[in-house]
Amino acid sequence: MEPEEPRELREPGPGAETAAAPRWEEAKTFYDNLTSKKKPKSPKPQNAVTIAVSSRALFRMDEEQRIYMEQGVEEYVRYQLEHENEPFSPGPPFPFWRISSPIQALEAVNKRLRELYPESEDLFDIVLVTNNHAQVGVRLINSINHYDLFIERFCMTGGNSPICYLKAYHTNLYLSADAEKVQEAIDEGIAAATIFSPSRDVAVSQSQLRVAFDGDAVLFSDESERIVKAHGLDSFFEHEKAHENKPLAQGPLKGFLEALGRLQKKFYSKGLRLECPIRTYLVTARSAASSGARALKTLRSWGLETDEALFLAGAPKGPLLEKIRPHIFFDDQMFHVAGAQEMGTVAAHVPYGVAQTPRRTTPTKQAPSAQ
């Protein structure tokens, strides 16, 4: 048999692209409408309130970290593969993800939102972001399924920093155990915090997600803290009084409060303000009479609010947080983070502003699980 002559490649004829377009649209519509009858559909990233969490923030990986530091990456990966059917122990943010087993705090809010707005994609979405090797992914997936966590989106970067992917995932908040990665995210303009385990377990609300924020250098800029450090408390009070009607510049977590507020308004519009499953708190060292008005007016100027505003006038925050029992508390001062930990609160440090110590110039060796 004679071999066939090669066929001549021809340019697509007129209208070929137009004819193909409906087929592409049909395929896209098919995949967009695919839904599971057992699991709720994940929202599109651009519509969701997306929280990116690192593997070591989500799970306790102390032994794995030790193996990496002492024996290197190959032994670390081998250990993970050998133990991939053993779920990791829960890490510090589990009260944030879980209200009571097996219902998660964030998914509980999503459930209420789906009941009220069946077609809406204004929901929480969780992305696991880690610089782990993809081979470790099976153990991570097994652990997530073991704890019945609804996390469908993963980003595993094989030793490279995952920070460059956060904006592509439309991240509203990044939580990690790696302070350097958190600082990198803050520098990129992404709301981020280093998460710390509480010193003791405290029961949190089973019906309401509670999130507490410090004000200066967290929701607001560090403008006022700079004045305190440079000129003292009296100058600060005078400055705040003189600028009471001038809004403070935004801080790194303003956008996350805004995202929470967007979801809260979905409940408010249904007349459910008092039954809203999300509650926010401003917990600040500011004095109410001397400097509180500017903080509240700043939030108002942004079209934002917190459900409660607690002005402590320099008193420790820990005892008050013990009463609030938030699922997570954000602060830029490590001594407030430590005080929250002592009272059983999951605390997250926001490395922003004049209060921070100088950055390290030489990075320490980090395991692939260190995020």
List active site positions. 214
Contact 176, 54 (CB under 8 A): yes
Helices (H), 289-343: 293-301, 318-324, 334-342
User: Exposed, middle or buried by CB within 10 Å (0-12, 13-18, 19+), for 111?
Assistant: middle
DSSP 90: E
Query: How many beta carbons lie within 10 A of that of residue 329, not counting itself?
Result: 30
Dmax over CA atoms of the chain, in Å, equals 99
Going from the C-alpha of 335 to that of each of 65, 96, 210, 284, 338, the distances in angstroms are 26, 21, 21, 13, 5
User: Exposed, middle or buried by CB within 10 Å (0-12, 13-18, 19+), for 343?
Assistant: buried
Residues 6+ apart with CB under 8 A from 11: none
44 phi, psi to nearest 5 deg: -65, 140
Strand, coil or helix: 129: strand
Q: Of 275, 257, 262, 259, which is closest to residue 112 (Cα–Cα)?
A: 275
Query: How many beta carbons lie within 10 A of that of residue 9, not counting itself?
Result: 5
Q: Which two tokens stand for residue 119?
A: 């077609």
d(CA 371, CA 369): 5
Q: Of 149, 142, 151, which is closest to residue 85 (Cα–Cα)?
A: 142
Contact 337, 348 (CB under 8 A): yes
The DSSP annotation for 167-192 comes to: TTTTEEEEEES-HHHHHHHHHTT--E
Contact 288, 142 (CB under 8 A): no
